[in-house]
Amino acid sequence: MFNGIIQDIKAIKERDPAARNTFEIVLLYSGLHAIWLHRPAHWLYKKKLFFPARFISQLSRFFTGIEIHPGAKIGKGVLIDHGAGVVIGETAVVGDNCTLYQGVTLGGTGKDTGKRHPTLGNNVLVGSGAKILGPFTIGDGAKIASNAVVLQSLPPGATAVGVPARIVRVNGKKIDVGSQLDHVHIPDPISQELSRLSKEIALLKKQLEEIKTNKNLS
């Protein structure tokens, strides 16, 4: 446990340029407090002492603004930076040395049972406001952009952006996204239907004029 505490503090020093010293980190970092409170809550949860486990987790939520279900598994050296609004579900797994910014949700879709929440590999970075929803795996070293919504697995080293998220890089190398579904320039079905009806009306008018012309000639 002591080694875990040292790693948590070291992670903040290495990855947060605003961190000045250990004393400040221990006293003032809500993300660190949430992780430290989660560990006894998780221990109680594994012992099937669900009420005291949830009591600690809700107490942590009250003081830090970060909600981590006691059933979630949190690795070593995890940095929850700023932290406000972070939600981590019961069956979520967060690997070692991950970084989560404010507003991140590791949640479910409501359609699954058993394993309902995502598994993050090691060294994953999740930008502020991002949502990862479902029981799939995010590969080691993946990066998820702010406000992205991830609904499927990502390979190691992938960078994902957008709603729903699409992969734009793998291990720093750009990939061709032209073949992926364009979620922005989607055809308007109402406009398409109006265009079809307009063509049919024009055709009917032409046929009607031909009938009138033939009738006059006769």
Is 2-174 assigned to CATH 3.40.50.300? no
Query: Rounded to the nearest 5 degrees, what angle is found at the Cα of 38, between the Cα atoms of 21 and 34?
Result: 40
- Tracing tokens 């729903």 back to the chain, one arrives at 164
CA 79, 159, 19 angle in degrees (round to 5)?
Answer: 25
**DSSP one-letter code for 30:** H
**CA 10, CA 2: separation in Å to the nearest integer?**
12
Burial of 49 (0-12, 13-18, 19+ CB in 10 A): middle
- Condensed to tens digits (0 to 9), the pLDDT of residues 130-165 reads 999 999 999 999 999 999 999 999 999 999 999 888
- What predicted TM-score, i.e. pTM, was given to this entire model? 0.74
Q: Are strands 166-170 and 173-174 parallel, antiparallel or unpaired?
A: antiparallel
Domain locations in the chain as residue ranges: 2-174, 187-218
Comparing 168 with 172, the larger pLDDT belongs to 168
pLDDT at 187 over 70: no
pLDDT digits (tens, 9 = 90+) for 42-62: 999 999 999 999 999 999 999
Q: Is the peptide bond before 164 cis (omega within 30 degrees of 0)?
A: yes
